[in-house]
Amino acid sequence: MAEIISGKEISEKVKAEIKAETEKMKEKPGLAVIIVGEDPASKVYVNNKAKGCEQVGFLSRVYRLPESTRFEELSELIKQLNTDREIDGILVQLPLPKHISEKEVINLITPTKDVDAFHPVNTGRIMTGDYYFLPCTPAGVMRMLREKKISVAGKKCVVVGRSNIVGKPQAMLMLNESATVTVCHSKTVNLKEECRQADILVVAIGKAKFITADYIKPGAVVIDVGMDRDENGKLCGDVDFEGVEKVAGAITPVPGGVGPMTIAMLLSNTLTAAKYAGKK
């Protein structure tokens, strides 16, 4: 049976480190989260981020805007936060209503306050390895591997999914640490064979229990980034946990795996942003 990699446990360690640093600072790091509309999942995520801020001693502001909010109104708010001394990190919860361009909104955030690391300046810096911040979910995955003393150097790493939020930056972070990386997606030929080559497999495709035991090299490390619901409405990942656990060497559960790490790394990025801003 595979070793279970608990993101919940590791995230608590990360938050304890952040809290200890925050307590030594004269000025609290500040995070502003903007949510537009009533998306139920987004509301849960925003509440969890606010709780995380409270846990580590950050200033937290949540701006809840109606679905009908115009781009110009959202733009004005972001511009105000860009120059707000109390706020070090700005996060606009995605998805946004269809009449607002996510790309344009992300581009408005000052790169040194873009704690999601979605701004083109930040994504470009990740390519070169000279970054302010790392995207929260891929950074969380890397921290989990380090905590478990799982080196990616020289390993065959396969990332299933090519989103700008997880798949692409995850591949780049692994490449930056000397892994041999393959990125798979919906057009990949022989996906199962590609996955079976992986020493470390990261799955982020949004399809419940899609990756089954026959996709897994015996003893491989399996990181499940998915957050789905199965046929009974129960939370699950992109990996069939029960089957894969019997083959893998280590695996993350859903829930309690990568999810808690994403919020922990957001808090870490906000602390970094506060330091960039000169808070001590």
Q: Which residues are catalytic?
A: 49, 93, 116
Provide the terminal-to-terminal Cα distance of the chain, rounded to the nearest Å. 46
Q: What angle do CA 111, 113, 118 make, to 5 degrees?
A: 55
Rounded-to-integer distance, Cα 266 and Cα 270, Å:
6
Confirm if 38 and 98 have CB atoms less than 8 A apart.
no
Confirm if 237 and 266 have CB atoms less than 8 A apart.
no
How buried is residue 256: exposed, middle or buried, by Cβ count under 10 Å (0-12/13-18/19+)? middle
Rounded-to-integer distance, Cα 156 and Cα 49, Å:
33
Rounded-to-integer distance, Cα 6 and Cα 238, Å:
17
Q: Is the dihedral of CA 266, 60, 25, 27 positive or negative?
A: positive
Confirm if 90 and 251 have CB atoms less than 8 A apart.
no
